[in-house]
Amino acid sequence: MEDSDSECCKNPPTLSSSAGSGSLVEIGGLNAYVAGSSHSKLGIIMGSDIFGYEAPKLRKMADKVAAAGFFVVVPDFFYGDPWDPADKERSFKIWMQTHGTDKATIDAKSVIAALKNKGISAIGAAGFCWGGKVAVNLAKTDYIQAAVLLHPSLVTVDDIKEVQVPIAVLGAEFDRETTPQLLKQFAEILSSKPEISSYVKVYPGVGHGWTIRYKDDDEKAIKAAEEAYHDMLNWFIKYVKQRKASCPWFFICC
């Protein structure tokens, strides 16, 4: 992800602050889009791609996950400054230098702490493209119970070696950011760690960003995006929802 020719920059969405059926709140010091019942004890934090938390298809995905019983938070890790392809005064490289995933990971931990203070006791993290790096950073800690990376960018073999929680990596056949060859390396590393549940899948016939930046007339991508949604949801049901349900009453899950 080095320049504006990156696959991460293609098919930019039309952003809308009013997209989605959820609401806008401040949580953990960040503005965020939230969906689902605030009484849920199950939380999902979603890290956006470079286009930020106002992307309509991202919010649609958040709404669908929320409908399954989760309280979903999509933080504005970019503080109102997502990548704008129309900005001719600033290169993508310069934008990336001022929008690092390390700062976003710190912010994500603040959001998670706020969720726990609200009584949410089991939390998963999903990361799309740029947000995949944030999700894998969280997966190296005990802040979350499970992670799903969807066509991630910036994620390295060393990142995967440090994963401590159940993780699913959902990638595309045609992806120069996280190639099928790199995904194979991820799978080999994770398979050498049997104590960590893992799942790596390559979706045929689609490219980087397909889950939330598919074109509305691309039936193959739409079908694959729906499949990825179900794969992600099933992972969170198994390792966030069922984990909480399996905890004995005298043990507080965190």
Residue 77 burial by CB count (10 A; 0-12/13-18/19+): exposed, middle or buried? buried
| pLDDT confidence of residue 245 | 56
Q: Distance between CA 217 and CA 179 in Å, rounded? A: 25
**Residue labelled with tokens 């059926």:** 21
Q: Which amino acid is at 71?
A: F
Helices within 31-175 (DSSP H only): 56-66, 92-97, 101-117, 130-139, 157-161
| pLDDT confidence of residue 1 | 52
* pLDDT lower than 50: segments of the chain: 2, 4, 247-254
Domains and CATH numbers, the chain: 7-240 (3.40.50.1820)
H/E run at residue 223: helix 219-236
Q: What pTM value is reported for the model?
A: 0.93
pLDDT per residue as tens digits for the range 168-185:
999 999 999 899 999 999
Sign of the Cα torsion 78, 152, 217, 10 reads positive
In this structure, what token pair is assigned to residue 111? 């959001």
Among residues 171, 174, 130, 175, which one has the least CA distance to residue 150?
A: 171
Q: Which amino acid is at 134?
A: V
Q: Distance between CA 163 and CA 161 in Å, rounded? A: 6
Q: How many CB atoms lie under 10 A from the CB of residue 94?
A: 11
Q: Distance between CA 109 and CA 106 in Å, rounded? A: 5
- Which residues in 122-141 are b (16+ Cβ under 10 Å) and which e? bbbbbbbbbbbbbbbbbbbe
In this structure, what token pair is assigned to residue 234? 């099933």
| pLDDT confidence of residue 53 | 98
pLDDT per residue as tens digits for the range 87-130:
989 999 999 999 999 999 999 999 999 999 999 999 999 999 99
Q: What is the CA radius of gyration of the chain?
A: 17
Among residues 59, 71, 67, which one has the least CA distance to residue 16?
A: 59
